[in-house]
Amino acid sequence: MKRVCSYCKKTYGEKEPFDDNSITHGACEECKNKMMEEIDKMPQEEPKLRKGSLREIPSPKKS
């Protein structure tokens, strides 16, 4: 099976079974790294989750 990157469409390797010519999609190292960079650039805080809405959910602790 050929591994083709769904982002840049490059073949970046093979995986078992090697005699199978079908294609499996994924992300090559290059695109993975790019994605990681994009994630790092994104704002880390989600205002929705920071406004105390989580506190309204009763905690499931039974101690």
Q: How far is the CB of 6 from Zn ion (least distance, A)?
A: 8
Burial tier of 1 (Cβ tally within 10 Å: 0-12, 13-18, 19+):
middle
8 binds Zn ion (CB under 5 A): yes
Q: How far is the CB of 26 from Zn ion (least distance, A)?
A: 9
Taking CB under 5 A as the criterion, the residue among 2, 4, 7, 26 binding Zn ion is: 7
35 binds Zn ion (CB under 5 A): no
Strands ordered across the beta sheet of 2-5: 11-14, 2-5, 23-26
Binding residues vs Zn ion (CB under 5 A): 5, 7-8, 28, 31
